[in-house]
Structures are given as C-alpha cells and as structure tokens.
C-alpha cells in the first residue's frame, strides 16, 4: 500500500489509537485524518481534538452521532426484538456499521486512500468495520495495525508512546482491568477476572447500574408510547430517540439496577468469549416492544418474526448490516410495524421489568371473545371439536400404523 497518501483513522484519543496515529504517520509516511464519534459513551470526546492536533493532524472530525445511532440503527434493530444467542442485545455490534459508514463518508470528503481502525485480530469488530467499509466503498483500502505490527502488549504500546513523545500518561489514575466499550445502548466488559468462566464478576465493575439488592424498595411505573414500533414518548412527554434511550438508561439502570448480563458468547472468528454487559434502556425496550406487539400483531406475523429474528441477530453480530439479506429482512420487519401503536405500562423494581398494562387503538385483543364469562354467542365452543379432530387426523394415522 505504498500509494497511500491519506488515511481516515477511527480515533478515540486513548493509548491504542494514539499509538496507531503515530505508527501510520511513520510506517506509511501519510497524512492522517482523525474521526471521533460521540455515540453517547458518557466520556468527553473533545479532548481527542487537542491530542490529534498536538500530533500534527490537520483534519479532525468529531461528530455527535447519538440521534442517528438510535434512530437509524438501534430502533430498527429493536423492531425485530433482536437478541443474539438468547441473551445479548448487541450493543457493540450495532454501533459498528454507523462508524464504518462515517469513516467512508469522511474518506470520500477528504479524498483519502484508506481507512484504519484499532480493532484487534482476535475480535469481531475488525470484521464488522471492514465488511461495512467494503459494502459502502468496494475499492477502499483498510489498514488494521494490530494485524501488522509487533506491539502486542500494553507495555510495548506504552514504550512506543514514550519513545515517540505521544502524550499518554504512564502513571495516574488506576487503569480498569477490563476492556470496555460504551455507547448509548450499553457498556461492555471483557478481560481481567472475566477470563475465568467460574469467577464471579466484581460488583465494583458495573458503571451504569445500581446493585439490584440496593435498589429502592418502591417500584417506578412508566408508560411508553409507541408509533409504528418505535417509542416516541415517555409518560406522555414526546422525546427524540436518543432522549428516550438516555431516560430509560437513567431510570432503569442508575435507579433500579436493570440490564446486567454475564454471558459466554460465540465470536464470529471462532472462539468463545465471556463478556458482561449493562443495557438498562435496551432491556426495558425489548420487554415493552414485545408487549405492544402482543396485542397489535397477527399471530402468524408475530411467529414468523420470531423465527426470522435469530438470523437477523446473527447478521448484525457478524457485521452484515449493509448486506442485501439484512436490508430485505428490515423491509419485512418494518412492514409488520405499521399497526404497532399504543401505550405500554411497566413496573421497574430491583432489576426487573414487569409489564402491567398495554393498550392500543389497533389492538386485536377482543375481550368479548377471550372472556371466561358468557360471550353472547361471539364464539361457538362446539366448533372446537371439529378443529381438534381435523388436527388429530395425522396423529391417529401414525398411532394406527404402530
């Protein structure tokens, strides 16, 4: 890649990407454009500007993508009730296609020859970033330093930073023993004691959620208003998608300890990995969305969505957000949400989300038919006999054969 003159780097300002910035400048003798995304990770992103400028970067992009992230990525995913391997709400996975999209947009704006990221050669993120990039710009070149250099430990990175005058503090506040990733949907933890699958996670690891044991003894009730499958208001107050998720994180996590998860998942690259996640707002959203769908979706539509959801979840997990099959599934999922309108009432209490009410002008629930009392002839119970006999026919034939 000796013809590379300019590279767009996904830059956080931390140790890894600061070293990558300098390494790109020296190894490829190229100009580096930095891109820092604010996805609601809860940390200041502006310091990255000063760090990049100190390292000679002239074109610096710092973008607030919170609304786009929730509106165009999180909300569409939750319309499908998406869960990977039965538990994981895909908080890291769903952020990667947006970062890839913005990297390509900046590459086009700046005339860059390549993009670069700090994902390691062992994880899923390298796949997600690069599949997204190639789908959006087939001819783009990708530089993944972790697959090229020999700086394979934190100490080597620190030594490189010190040798090249990169402004990274070797001493200071204690570094977390975990590898963490955060955005408005979740925060993840890997490494440290979590690499022993028998060792319980440490209580002081959690950043976003109160301990359920110490949560208030009084529950909180909230009402979520849905329009076409998306939450548009909380307790009657209209909110933007990012505002909705921010508020659900606050009331669900900080107050009631909702959304903690400790799992071992199957990475796309072939290994198993233990991770802990805090997804308070997402946990509430999943429960509430299934509740509003329970009264507004036809049975067979709901069941078909449930059958297709694992495939949809796998596509997101493995980096195929921009694939034709995910886009096709999304069109079908979105079409199913036309009548998913109404209000869901929830009780939040000590780590739990309990549905206590749901209503909709588009409800398919008919109390006159479902009642255990007299229904005035709305349903002829005698009809069930023929229904059962017809469905039992093949079972009888099999039994007679035996």
Res. 384: pLDDT tops 80: yes
More confident residue, 132 or 368: 132
Give the residue from 278, 225, 228, 261 showing the smallest Cα distance to 42.
Answer: 278
| Residue 351 phi, psi (nearest 5) | 85, 0
Angle between helices 125-136 and 96-110 (to 10 degrees): 50
From 18, 79, 93, 96, active-site residue:
96
Residue 313 included in any domain: no
Residue 108 and residue 189 in one domain: no
Q: Strands 187-190 and 272-278, how do they pair? A: antiparallel
Lowest pLDDT segment from 177-191, 213-227, 294-308? 177-191
Residue 10 and residue 64 in one domain: yes
- If you count them, how many residues does the chain have? 402
Residue 159 and residue 273 in one domain: no
Res. 171: pLDDT tops 50: no
Q: Tell me the pLDDT of the chain averaged across its residues.
A: 94
- Residue at a domain's end among 138, 163, 188: 163
Percentage above 90 pLDDT, the chain? 84
Residue 99 included in any domain: yes
* Residues facing residue 187 across a β-bridge: 182, 278
Neighbours of 375 (CB within 10 A): 15
- Average pLDDT for residues 50-56, to the nearest whole number? 92
Res. 206: pLDDT tops 60: yes
Give me the CATH number covering residue 253: 3.90.1260.10
pLDDT band at 169 (very low <50, low <70, confident <90, very high): low
Residue 244 and residue 110 in one domain: no
pTM reported for the whole predicted model: 0.93
* pLDDT tens-digit series, residues 310-356: 999 999 999 999 999 999 999 999 999 999 999 999 999 999 999 99
Residue 168 included in any domain: no
Residue 251 to residue 346: CA distance in whole angstroms: 12
Residue 120 included in any domain: yes
Residue 317 to residue 123: CA distance in whole angstroms: 12
From 125, 181, 336, 358, active-site residue:
125
pLDDT band at 174 (very low <50, low <70, confident <90, very high): low
Residue 246 and residue 271 in one domain: yes
Give the residue from 364, 357, 355 showing the smallest Cα distance to 300.
Answer: 364
Tokens describing residue 51:
């760090």
Residue 378 included in any domain: no
- Average pLDDT for residues 60-78, to the nearest whole number? 98
Residue 317 included in any domain: no
Q: Is 125 a catalytic residue?
A: yes
Residue 103 and residue 71 in one domain: yes
Q: What integer pLDDT is reported at residue 61 of this predicted model? A: 97
Residue 158 and residue 183 in one domain: no
Residue 379 included in any domain: no
Residue 86 included in any domain: no
More confident residue, 140 or 376: 140
Sheet with 342-349, strands from edge to edge, namely 237-238, 230-234, 220-227, 342-349, 352-359
Q: Is 96 a catalytic residue?
A: yes
Q: What integer pLDDT is reported at residue 376 of this predicted model? A: 75
Residue 305 to residue 302: CA distance in whole angstroms: 5
From 12, 16, 93, 274, active-site residue:
16
Residue 189 and residue 267 in one domain: yes
Residue 283 CA: distances (Å) to CA of 258, 307, 351? 7, 20, 10
Is residue 49 a contact partner of residue 60, using CB atoms and an 8 Å limit? yes
Tokens describing residue 360:
């909709």
- Average pLDDT for residues 107-136, to the nearest whole number? 95
More confident residue, 44 or 215: 215
- Residue at a domain's end among 163, 198, 221: 163
Give me the CATH number covering residue 15: 3.40.50.620
Q: What integer pLDDT is reported at residue 266 of this predicted model? A: 95
DSSP one-letter code for 354: E
Residue 238 and residue 116 in one domain: no
Q: What integer pLDDT is reported at residue 1 of this predicted model? A: 57
Domain of residue 104 covers 6-76+94-163
Residue 270 and residue 159 in one domain: no
- Average pLDDT for residues 160-189, to the nearest whole number? 81
Residue 174 to residue 171: CA distance in whole angstroms: 8
From 49, 179, 262, 273, active-site residue:
179
Res. 170: pLDDT tops 60: no
Residue 130 and residue 10 in one domain: yes
- Average pLDDT for residues 228-255, to the nearest whole number? 97
* pLDDT tens-digit series, residues 259-269: 999 999 999 98
If one counts the domains in the chain, the total is: 2
Q: Strands 237-238 and 260-266, how do they pair? A: unpaired
Residue 159 and residue 193 in one domain: no
């Amino acid at each position: 890649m000796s013809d590379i003159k300019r590279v767009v780097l996904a830059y956080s300002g931390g140790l890894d990407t600061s070293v990558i910035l300098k390494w790109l400048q020296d190894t490829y003798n190229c100009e580096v454009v930095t891109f820092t995304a604010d996805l609601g990770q809860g940390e200041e992103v502006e310091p990255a500007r000063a760090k990049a400028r100190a390292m000679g970067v002239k074109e610096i992009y710092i973008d607030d993508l919170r609304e786009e992230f929730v509106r165009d990525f999180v909300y569409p995913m939750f319309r499908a009730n998406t869960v990977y391997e039965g538990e994981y709400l895909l908080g890291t996975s769903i952020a990667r296609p947006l970062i890839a999209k913005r990297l390509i947009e900046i590459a086009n704006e700046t005339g860059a020859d390549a993009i670069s990221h700090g994902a390691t050669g062992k994880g899923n993120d390298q796949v997600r970033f690069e599949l997204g990039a190639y789908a959006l710009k087939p001819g783009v070149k990708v530089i993944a330093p972790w697959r090229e250099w020999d700086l394979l430990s934190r100490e080597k990175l620190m030594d490189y930073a010190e040798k090249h005058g990169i402004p990274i503090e070797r001493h200071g506040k204690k570094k977390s023993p975990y590898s963490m990733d955060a955005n408005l949907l979740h925060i993840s933890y890997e490494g440290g004691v979590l690499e022993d699958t028998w060792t319980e996670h440490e209580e002081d690891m959690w950043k976003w959620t109160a301990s359920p044991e110490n949560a208030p003894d009084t529950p909180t009730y909230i009402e979520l208003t849905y329009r076409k499958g998306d939450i548009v208001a909380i307790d009657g107050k209209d909110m933007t998608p990012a505002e909705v998720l921010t508020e659900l994180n606050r009331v669900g996590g900080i107050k009631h300890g909702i959304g903690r998860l400790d799992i071992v998942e199957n990475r796309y690259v072939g290994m198993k990995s233990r991770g802990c996640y805090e997804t308070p707002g997402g946990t509430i959203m999943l429960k509430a969305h299934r509740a509003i769908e329970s009264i507004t979706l036809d049975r067979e539509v709901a069941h078909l969505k449930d059958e297709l959801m694992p495939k949809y979840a796998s596509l997101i997990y493995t980096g195929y957000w921009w694939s034709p099959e995910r886009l096709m599934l999304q069109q079908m999922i979105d079409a199913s949400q036309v009548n998913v309108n109404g209000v869901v009432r929830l009780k939040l209490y000590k780590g739990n989300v309990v549905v206590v009410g749901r209503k909709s002008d588009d409800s398919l629930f008919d109390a006159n038919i479902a009642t255990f009392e007299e229904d005035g002839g709305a349903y002829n119970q005698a009809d069930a006999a023929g229904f059962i006999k017809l469905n039992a026919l093949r079972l009888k034939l099999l039994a007679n054969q035996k």
